């Protein structure tokens, strides 16, 4: 089954929302958190998403629409 390693960055207004739980409820993807740092005004979570590719993409689109930033775990790779 395909998987994707990503970093989610949350703004302050979403810190109390169970976004990752909702992601797993709304879409047939498995979320597997590996590292995180969540504070009252900001947070990031590094996790693996496993599922069919279109479902992962739809799930990430929904996460983005909530206002969460989605990045590859390796950071920006487009260099000058």
Q: Which stretch binds another protein (CB under 8 A): 13-21, 23-31, 34-42?
A: 34-42
Give the interface size with another protein as a residue count (CB under 8 A).
21
Q: Measured from the CB of residue 69, what is the shortest distance to another protein in angstroms?
A: 6
What is the DSSP code string of 38-77? E-SSEEEEEEEEES-HHHHHHHHHHHHHTT-EEEETT---
Nearest to another protein of 25, 51 (CB atom): 51
Q: How far apart are the first and last CA of the chain?
A: 34
Interaction between residue 21 and another protein (CB under 8 A): no
């Amino acid at each position: 089954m395909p998987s994707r390693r990503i970093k989610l960055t949350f703004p302050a207004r979403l810190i109390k929302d169970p976004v990752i739980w909702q992601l797993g409820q709304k879409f047939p993807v498995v979320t597997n958190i590996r590292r995180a740092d969540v504070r009252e005004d900001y947070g990031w979570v590094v996790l693996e998403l496993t599922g069919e590719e279109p479902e992962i993409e739809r799930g990430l689109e929904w996460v983005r629409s909530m206002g969460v930033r989605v990045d590859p775990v390796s950071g920006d790779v487009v260099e000058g």
